[in-house]
Amino acid sequence: MDLLLHVLWGIMILGIDVYVILGSILPDSLYLISVIEVKFKLEKLKNSKLFIWGERIHSFFFIPIILILLYVFIGAYVLIKIVVAYYLHLLFDIFTHRDFGPRFCWPFIDSYFPRGVIQWENTGTMFILYSLSIFALVLRFLII
């Protein structure tokens, strides 16, 4: 999914909180930096070393390092919000990266595995995802 959808779903499920937003953005942070590195020339993006490392920090096994660092610097309560938002981001990515995407099992498997059921960049898919997100946000914050 795109970054805005990750943030919206993080807020919708976990509540409005700066640490939820941080955890929702964190897995894509190197992607954002790599776009700037290649000067927005997207054809060069996937060859960028930062982009490749961005795929790797989407790993379920990369989290222990992040957990230790966050625990030392921030504390347990905030850590929980960041980590849950981070895992929520990964969970959505597992289903929305069919053709290419993160290396969820790195460093044990350095390839795109597992693959999702839809590809988020498809225009029709994005329309459906945003429609569902808006509907769910209305339910979460206005009705329920």
Domain spans of the chain, in order of start: 3-139
Chain-centre distance for alpha carbon 72: 23
Cβ atoms of 20 and 79 within 8 Å: the answer is no
DSSP 129-144: HHHHHHHHHHIIIII-
What pLDDT was estimated at residue 46?
Answer: 76
Name the band, by pLDDT with cuts 50, 70 and 90, for residue 7: very high
Q: Average pLDDT in the 41-64 region? A: 80
Closest by Cα among 129, 118, 99 to 2: 129
Cβ atoms of 107 and 61 within 8 Å: the answer is yes
Rounded Cα distance between 68 and 108, Å, is 20
Taking the CA of residue 98 as centre, how many other CA atoms within 13 Å lie in the half-sphere pointing to its CB? 7
What pLDDT was estimated at residue 114?
Answer: 65
Please write the tens of the pLDDT for every residue from 92-119: 888 887 777 787 878 888 777 667 666 7
